Amino acid sequence: MENKSKAIALVSGGMDSLITLAIALEQYRTALLHFLYRQRTEERELRAFHEIADYYSIDERLVSRIETLHQIGGSSLTDGAIPVADADIGSQDIPTSYVSFRNAHFLTGAVSWAEVNGVSVIFVGAVEEDSSGYPDCRREFYDAFERLIETGTKPDTKIKIITPIIHMKKKDIILKGVELGAPLHLTWSCYRRSDKACGTCESCVLRLRAFKAAGIPDPIEYEMKV
């Protein structure tokens, strides 16, 4: 175990980053990074983060707050004046839940943490096709980010961004999680609520659809019968 090299994983508390972490842990000692940005379900996501970290007995965790995204607003997740919409699966538009350049904020923090600690691998649970269509979930964004790291850090700093599930279907991500024994019951995906998942926001609908396709019951509780 101690001979494994070290990685950082961005862990939101949702399913995709959990399964990405489970994949990372097969090869790396992994430190966990979580961001609070005054999103609606901030406390619930933080609880999921810590429960996942506890499950894997990972002590090395950094929880950090990004004020900027809330100050700026413009997203239904961070701006109380914009309601969280019901899912509109199949729409080509970028949904109102889009938080501008969010993954750049998260990755930038991960790169600073990695550089200061000599870590050369960052895991991110982005999903490109079978997801909400956020631009910062596409592999070309991570390729561009790797180039940014090359140009913007010390000459001897080498950091790769690994996105192991980026081209997977949500259903297959769940099956991979089951295969790896990932604690899916500890994850939180709902954009709206923190007690029981609403079942109708985009994140809930994508999740429920994926569990259905995988033929596995979703272990978390929903407000309505799903």
Asked if residue 204 lies in contact with residue 189, where contact means CB atoms within 8 angstroms, the answer is yes
> Could you give the CA distance from residue 168 to residue 151 in angstroms, rounded to a whole number?
30
Asked if residue 35 lies in contact with residue 66, where contact means CB atoms within 8 angstroms, the answer is yes
46 binds its own copies (CB under 8 A): no
64 binds its own copies (CB under 8 A): yes
Segment lying near its own copies (by CB under 8 A), choices 6-14, 18-26, 143-151, 184-192: 143-151
73 binds its own copies (CB under 8 A): yes
Q: Among 16, 128, 136, 218, which residue interacts with its own copies (rule: CB under 8 A)?
A: 136
Asked if residue 119 lies in contact with residue 125, where contact means CB atoms within 8 angstroms, the answer is no
Q: Closer to its own copies at the Cβ: 118 or 181?
A: 118
> Could you give the CA distance from residue 55 to residue 224 in angstroms, rounded to a whole number?
28
Q: Among 55, 56, 96, 100, which residue interacts with its own copies (rule: CB under 8 A)?
A: 100
Centroid of chain to Cα 165: 11
Segment lying near its own copies (by CB under 8 A), choices 49-57, 147-155, 175-183, 200-208: 147-155
Q: How far is the CB of 71 from its own copies (least distance, A)?
A: 6
Segment lying near its own copies (by CB under 8 A), choices 18-26, 95-103, 175-183, 211-219: 95-103
> Could you give the CA distance from residue 59 to residue 50 in angstroms, rounded to a whole number?
10
C-alpha closest to that of 44 among 194, 186, 201:
194
Terminal alpha carbon distance of the chain: 41
Segment lying near its own copies (by CB under 8 A), choices 51-59, 65-73, 177-185, 188-196: 65-73
Q: Among 43, 68, 80, 179, which residue interacts with its own copies (rule: CB under 8 A)?
A: 68
DSSP for 177-206, please give it.
HHHTT--GGG----SS-SSSB-S-BHHHHH
Q: How far is the CB of 43 from its own copies (least distance, A)?
A: 17
Q: In the complex, which residues of this chain contact its own copies (CB under 8 A)?
A: 62, 64-69, 71-74, 94, 98-105, 108-109, 111-113, 115-117, 135-136, 138, 140-141, 143-145, 147-155
